[in-house]
């Protein structure tokens, strides 16, 4: 692997033991995957932020490190809202341990936003190289923005944040970003909502697995693209997809699709995912809400009071910039939490069934929270929460 003089200095320990060890980790990873060099990154998103995931030994490892991130970096969602954990009914002992993990990352120069939507917090552009961890964020960055990131593990994303580089392999290389199958959607998508696109992602992920799909027959907007990718990364292992005429690389390139497997998806396959099972609570914001989604939730809640628990999740930076909208949502009795989500927080475990407008949450709530999940449009979710 080709290293520049600065890398050699770091590897020789001239910039401290932490930077030395973390660069060794990146070089070892690069060698495993055949990377020829390291590539500078614009930002990192670090998983392994929940105490539930990393535990005592992970925390000890973080505390043993002594260096600072050299690029903007945020954390993945954790098990609780950092400032409103009591309101979520979180156990004080768990909260103290979680705060210790967050403090350890803060000492390493990681921004304390804990979110799967870092693209709302710092500018991410076409062609940027990144080291992001969370599967929906990775899929959005690669597909919707046209940036380049592999799906990093927590230690490799942290190492990349501190070194400012990542091994250049996988989706960092243009030759690995070509479509590998076609999904032809036959449906009246003009009427589709974000939830329909989430359901499409839920269905398509099972067909696609870990290949790179190329969609035809859909024209989703940014939030719908977010929903497709998140769901495909959950039911499959999709880290990049293209949509004809919509996503940036599909607009820029003319792909040769001859000889590639093409699978049709019919409206009925999407419709059957929507049910009307009774629910105990409603949860929105998987992935974390965009400003436009918060605005739409607030609009639908005007004049309404919730009769069922309604949780909304978004990045702290997005909440802060949309404080009036968030206040309006909370006037209905709904709660808008940062730093955590319906899947990683234990808060949803108390409900037997949860309504969501996300294909990813439809896949994960039953597995991770133990209850049933029902997908519906945002309008239906608000109606059910307030009827
Ligand atoms: Fe984000 Fe949690 Fe969904 S991390 S994508 S809100 S499962």
What proportion of the chain, given as a percentage, has pLDDT over 70? 100
pLDDT in tens, 208-217: 999 999 999 9
Backbone angles phi, psi at 356, to 5 degrees: -135, 165
Distance 356 CA to ligand 1 centre (A): 12
DSSP labels, 227-253: HHHHHHHHHS--S--EETTTSHHHHH-
Give the torsion sign (CA, 210, 173, 258, 248).
positive
- 52 pLDDT more than 90: no
pLDDT in tens, 220-240: 999 999 999 999 999 999 999
pLDDT attached to residue 53: 81
Measured from the CA of 364, which atom of ligand 1 is nearest?
Answer: 7
pLDDT in tens, 184-200: 999 999 999 999 999 99
Confidence band, pLDDT 50/70/90 cuts, at residue 369: confident
Q: Which residue has the tokens 């974000």?
A: 194
Architecture of the 5-174 domain: 2-Layer Sandwich (3.30)
Mean pLDDT score across all residues of the chain: 96
Distance 17 CA to ligand 1 centre (A): 34
Architecture of the 178-271 domain: 3-Layer(aba) Sandwich (3.40)
Ligand 1 pocket by Cβ (under 6 Å): 77, 116, 134, 136, 230, 286-288, 313, 341, 343-344, 360, 364
Domain ranges in the chain? 5-174, 178-271, 281-386
CATH of the domain spanning 281-386, picked from 3.40.50.150, 1.10.10.10, 3.90.1170.20, 3.30.499.10: 3.30.499.10
Does the fold of domain 281-386 match that of domain 5-174? yes
Confidence band, pLDDT 50/70/90 cuts, at residue 368: confident
**Ligand 1 atom 2, closest CA:** 341
Cβ(125)–Cβ(84) below 8 Å: no
Residue 280 exposed, middle or buried by CB count within 10 Å (0-12, 13-18, 19+): middle
pLDDT in tens, 72-98: 999 999 999 999 999 999 999 999 999
């Amino acid at each position: 692997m080709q290293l520049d003089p600065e890398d050699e200095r770091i590897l020789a320990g001239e910039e401290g033991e932490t930077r030395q060890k973390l660069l060794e980790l990146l070089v070892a990873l690069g060698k495993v995957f055949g990377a020829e060099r390291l590539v500078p990154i614009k930002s990192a998103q670090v998983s392994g932020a929940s105490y539930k995931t990393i535990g005592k030994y992970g925390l000890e490892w973080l505390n043993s490190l002594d260096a600072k991130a050299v690029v903007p970096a945020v954390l993945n969602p954790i098990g609780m809202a950092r400032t409103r954990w009591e309101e979520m009914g979180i156990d004080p002992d768990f909260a103290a341990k979680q705060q210790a993990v967050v403090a350890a990352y803060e000492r390493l120069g990681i921004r304390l936003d804990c979110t799967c939507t870092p693209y709302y917090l710092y500018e991410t552009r076409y062609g940027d190289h990144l080291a992001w961890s969370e599967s929906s964020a990775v899929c959005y960055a690669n597909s919707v923005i046209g940036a380049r990131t592999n799906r990093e593990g927590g230690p490799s994303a942290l190492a990349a944040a501190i070194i400012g580089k990542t091994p250049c392999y996988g989706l960092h290389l243009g030759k690995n970003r070509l479509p590998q199958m076609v999904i032809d959607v036959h449906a009246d998508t003009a009427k589709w909502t974000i939830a329909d696109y989430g359901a499409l992602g839920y269905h398509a992920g099972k067909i696609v697995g870990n290949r790179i799909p190329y969609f035809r027959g859909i024209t989703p907007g940014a939030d719908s693209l977010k929903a497709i990718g998140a769901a495909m990364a959950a039911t499959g292992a999709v880290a990049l997809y293209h949509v004809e005429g919509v996503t940036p690389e599909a607009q820029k390139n003319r792909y040769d699709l001859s000889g590639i497997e093409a699978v049709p998806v019919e409206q009925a396959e999407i419709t059957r995912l929507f049910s009307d099972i009774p629910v105990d609570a409603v949860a929105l914001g998987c992935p974390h809400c965009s400003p436009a989604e918060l605005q739409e939730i607030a609009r639908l809640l005007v004049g309404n009071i919730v009769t069922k628990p309604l949780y909304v999740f978004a990045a702290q930076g997005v909440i802060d910039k949309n404080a009036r909208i968030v206040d309006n949502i909370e006037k209905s009795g709904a709660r808008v939490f940062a730093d955590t989500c319906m899947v990683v927080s234990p808060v949803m475990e108390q409900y037997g069934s949860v309504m969501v407008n996300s294909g990813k949450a439809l896949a994960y709530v039953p597995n991770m929270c133990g209850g049933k999940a029902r997908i519906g449009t945002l309008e239906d979710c608000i109606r059910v929460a307030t009827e």
